[in-house]
Structure 1
């Protein structure tokens, strides 16, 4: 029995998220279907985490056990030959049997793209969040510094989640602008449901003057979702890397 780790890139536009669901097109479902074709076995893959509908990935990681005799590095070739064009296996390798894509992870890095212009873009509409009002990027940068460190991020999690431990550590948060594109990049030891999108929406609200730039600490201390900003749309979000 071999344990195989896949590094996966995908365009989430036409998927109903990562997790396999009945009668829905999902990334997990498409990869498991392709694996069955090449191994003639039912294979269950485990992702590092679930990305939502419309969310993209450059470095998603998944693992699975198999009795197939296909060489480890040939899985990516075989899978890419039959997977739809919006999923690419960037690497396949054999790992220790105790490796698990989700439970072995020690951190993740995400990016978020904002298209900041009065007029929408037809070309990047599925790959960025359109914000038509002017954003003060310096205010956003200063505010983002208050996310760094270990905090209780319950205020930045979608209401109704059953997660009990909401303490997470943010190691790095950068914001840069290139013409009309603003790119946020954040890494940490873990993220709650919709945490990056709510952090981004809050920074957007700060950037346009709806919220003060020094409000992040009080939002964190309140532990109330209603005190944070809006949830940014999913198409701007990318899972960049998973750390092990």
Structure 2
């Protein structure tokens, strides 16, 4: 028995998120099915990040155990011939048997993309959130700075979360504009249910002038979901990479 790690990229538009569920097709479901067919044995993968419905990824990480003699680095090529075109395995390799993508210490980087222009762009509609009113990215960046460090992010967590500890650490957060595109890029040790989308929605309110930047600090201190802004739509969010022990996947 050996453990194989996959680096998975996907367009989440057509999927009900990562995790298997009864109400629609998911990334995990597709990978389990195709891997089981390829390796001729039951396969159940373990993913690092359970992305929501409509969220995309460039570098999600998953592992599975197999008795197959196929070399770990060759599995990606065989899988990509069988997967739908909106799911791609960017890398596969054998890892230590005790490597667990959720339990091992890691840093995750997500990017939320906003199209801030007079009119929407059809080719951007699935991968960014369109905001018509002008946004002041410098105010958004000021507000974001209050989130850096270790905090109780209860105000930035949806009520459906089952976690007991809502403390997380954000190592870096940047808000940058390039033309009509504004990106919010966040790196942290882990994120709560809908946390990044709520952060994005709150920063958008600041950028619109509906909230002062210091309101983000006040929302953190209140530890109340009602104190933060709305949850931004899923399509603007992409999991860019996950880093383990100074290695990026």
- What TM-score bracket applies, with the shorter chain setting the length? over 0.9
Cα displacement (A) at 1:21:
2.1
Q: Which residue of 2 is the match for residue 119 of structure 1? A: 119
Q: Which residue of 1 is the match for residue 188 of structure 2? A: 188
Q: Any idea what SS the aligned residue of 1:82 has? A: coil
For residues 105 and 16 of structure 2, the distance between their equivalents in structure 1, rounded to whole angstroms, comes to 24
Q: Which residue of 1 is the match for residue 12 of structure 2? A: 12
Q: Which residue of 1 is the match for residue 211 of structure 2? A: 211
Cα displacement (A) at 1:162:
2.2
For residues 51 and 144 of structure 1, the distance between their equivalents in structure 2, rounded to whole angstroms, comes to 22
Correspondences of 1:94-113 after superposition (within 5 Å): 94-113=94-113
Change (3 A) 1:36 1:23: farther
Cα displacement (A) at 1:20:
1.3
Cα displacement (A) at 1:25:
1.5
Q: Which residue of 1 is the match for residue 239 of structure 2? A: 239
Q: Any idea what SS the aligned residue of 2:108 has? A: strand
For residues 206 and 23 of structure 1, the distance between their equivalents in structure 2, rounded to whole angstroms, comes to 35
Superimposed CA distance per residue, residues 126-185 of structure 1 (whole angstroms, 9 cap, x where no aligned partner) = 000111111001101111110000100000000242211001110000111111110110
Superimposed CA distance per residue, residues 69-98 of structure 1 (whole angstroms, 9 cap, x where no aligned partner) = 111111100000000000000000100000
Q: Which residue of 2 is the match for residue 37 of structure 1? A: 37
For residues 106 and 87 of structure 1, the distance between their equivalents in structure 2, rounded to whole angstroms, comes to 23
Q: Which ranges in structure 1 are unaligned for 5 or more consecutive residues? A: none
Q: Does the 8 Å CA contact 1:8/1:60 hold for their aligned counterparts?
A: yes
For residues 22 and 81 of structure 1, the distance between their equivalents in structure 2, rounded to whole angstroms, comes to 27
Correspondences of 1:60-139 after superposition (within 5 Å): 60-139=60-139
Moved more, 10-19 or 20-29: 20-29
Superimposed CA distance per residue, residues 4-38 of structure 1 (whole angstroms, 9 cap, x where no aligned partner) = 00001000001111011236211111111110111
Q: Which residue of 1 is the match for residue 225 of structure 2? A: 225
For residues 23 and 190 of structure 1, the distance between their equivalents in structure 2, rounded to whole angstroms, comes to 26
For residues 35 and 26 of structure 1, the distance between their equivalents in structure 2, rounded to whole angstroms, comes to 14
For residues 182 and 52 of structure 1, the distance between their equivalents in structure 2, rounded to whole angstroms, comes to 21
For residues 192 and 120 of structure 2, the distance between their equivalents in structure 1, rounded to whole angstroms, comes to 30
Q: Which ranges in structure 2 are unaligned for 5 or more consecutive residues? A: 245-249
Q: Any idea what SS the aligned residue of 1:216 has? A: helix
Q: Which residue of 2 is the match for residue 163 of structure 1? A: 163
- The normalised TM-score by structure 2 is 0.96
For residues 165 and 78 of structure 1, the distance between their equivalents in structure 2, rounded to whole angstroms, comes to 40
- The normalised TM-score by structure 1 is 0.98
Cα displacement (A) at 1:105:
4.0
Q: Does the 8 Å CA contact 2:161/2:192 hold for their aligned counterparts?
A: no
For residues 168 and 23 of structure 1, the distance between their equivalents in structure 2, rounded to whole angstroms, comes to 30
